[in-house]
Each structure stands twice: as C-alpha cells, then as structure tokens.
Amino acid sequence: MAKNLTSHRPLLAIGLKTTAIFLFTAMAALVKYLSEDIPAGEAVFFRSFFAIPVIVVWLIARRELRNGLIAKKPMNHFWRGVLGTSAMGLTFTGLGLLPLPEVTAIGFATPIFTLVLAAIFLGERIRVIRIGAVLVGLLGVVIMLWPRLGGDAEADDLAMIGALCILAATFARAFVQIHIRQMVQTEHTAAIVFYFSATASILSLMTLPFGWVMPSTEQLALLILAGIIGGFAQILVTSSYRFGPASMLAPYDYTSMIFAVLIGYFWFSELPTGMMIAGATLVIAANALVVWREHKLGLERGKARAVTDPKS
C-alpha cells in the first residue's frame, strides 16, 4: 500500500494540484467578498482555525498525527508561523483593495524573490540563466506595480497600499520558503503543516483589539467555509507531490490566473489590465525558465549518479 501512495501517477498529481489551486483561489475570493466588513486579522483567524480539524482528520487517516505533534525545534515553528501569518494577513488586506487577478499575478513573483533570498541566506549559486530569470521577473513585477505606485495619473492611494501589501506578502512568502527548506532537515512535514495553522490561529487573535466585528450568520458561515476550503486545499497540494515531482507540477501553479480572471469577472466584475497581463507574462516566463533549468540540472545530476553509483 505504501508503495502505491508514492507511485508516479502524473494525471492524479495534476488533478490534485489543479483542484488545490482552484480551492485556494476560491478561498481568496471568499475573503475578498467579506473584506468590506471583516478585518483581515479576523479573516486570518477563521482561515487558520477552521483548517485545523480538516488537517487533524487527514493526519489521523494517514497515521501521522503523532508526527504532527512532535516539534523538535519549537522556535522554528514559531518563526514559520510569524512569517506565514504576516504573509496571509498582508494578502487578505490586499484582497480588499485590489482586483483578484492582480493580487494573483503579483504573487507569482514569490519564486523569483525566493531565488534571491536563497543566494543571500543559504549561499545557493545563481548562474547566468537564473540571473536572467530574476531580472526578467523583476521587470514584470515593476510593470505590474507601476500604475499603482504613481506611474498612472489616476493612481489610487488605497490601491497603492494594496499593491504594497501584496508585494510585502510576496517577500514574506519567499522568506517562508527559505525557512521551510531549513526546517525540513529536522521537522516532519505533518508537524510543519499542523503547527502553522495552530500558530497562525493564536497570532491572529492579537489583532482582536484592532477592530474585530461580530459577523452575521451568512458571514460566519462563509468565514468557516474559507477555513475548511483552505484546509482541504493544503491537503490536496501536499498530496499531489506524492504522485508527481515538483518540477512537473510547478507550471500548474499558473492555472490560478485562469481561475482568478474567471472568478474576478463573474463575481466582482473585474477585468485584468494590459499592464497587468504584460507584467504577469514576464513573471510567468521567468519562473518557467527557472523550472526548466532546475529540471535540466536534475537530469544531469541523475546521469552523474548513474555513472558514479551504478545499481546493476
């Protein structure tokens, strides 16, 4: 049975990953819908707290609850929670101020920033192709943000704040990726998933004095639904990597733009601008270049291992 759970089943992996991306986008849409009345910190609490039961049931079903409760380095989980909660709060704030497709597009810059931070903090080498990808990606980010940061005569102050929040959230998520790379050396994946939701629930309560509101019955139901959807999406995206390699699944992250454009148009009457599409295209192209390069390097390393450590 264990062998089947880790088998190479690309169609299943793609289905799980794409479904997870859709659910994350739907969750973001729910938060955006509620943002006019529900503060971001309150939304973070419901998103995190009501994901916990879903995650616990999943861990029990996989017989990994024990691993999920073992924290070998508790402070690492704390800082992962601080970074992740900050990213979530900033994203939820930005969702209330910017169109859903724009928030999604700016978020695509996370892998680009992760490359830069990995070079600075982990000493990872950035070769010519990666440097080119970073420059192209950063150019795409500038193009997307330019109208919001004063490049447009009709720039709106609230939209500018929203753009800065999403940019900051993107940086925070990049730091999370770097931190998790270090955590996985000592911590079980189940523990990372469980303690993030638990820590985020606690940290979000600190925003209680800053204007939480009593939600209506409908709002409460949607907030709880957002948390449940987020929990399921987290499980699906984690499970997808059991059936396919990260390099194969990475391009499917960009299906979120399709979902964001459709939901944004039909639910919020939002349309992507030409500048946003141009910038997002450059960022996606830069990420695709990095994924291709990583795949090629992986094949080269595999061939080297086959030569130096033959199995037959």
CB-side neighbour CA atoms (13 Å) of 281? 7
What is the rounded distance in angstroms from the CA atom of residue 273 to the CA atom of residue 25? Answer: 19
Residues 264 and 100 sit within 8 Å (Cβ to Cβ): yes
pTM for the full predicted model:
0.89
What is the rounded distance in angstroms from the CA atom of residue 25 to the CA atom of residue 181? Answer: 25
**pLDDT tens sequence across 21-60:** 999 999 999 999 999 999 999 999 999 999 999 999 999 9
Q: How high does pLDDT run on average in the chain?
A: 87
With vertex at residue 113, the alpha carbon angle to CA 108 and CA 116, rounded to the nearest 5 degrees, is 150
**pLDDT tens sequence across 196-243:** 999 999 999 999 999 899 999 999 999 999 999 999 999 998 888 888
**pLDDT tens sequence across 104-118:** 999 999 989 988 888
Higher-pLDDT residue of 307, 261:
261
Residue 257 CB-density burial (10 A; 0-12 exposed, 13-18 middle, 19+ buried): buried
pLDDT at residue 141, as a whole number? 93
Among the listed ranges 2-6, 58-62, 63-67, 100-104, which one has the minimum average pLDDT value?
Answer: 2-6
Confidence of residue 298 (pLDDT cuts 50, 70, 90): low
What is the rounded distance in angstroms from the CA atom of residue 256 to the CA atom of residue 93? Answer: 19
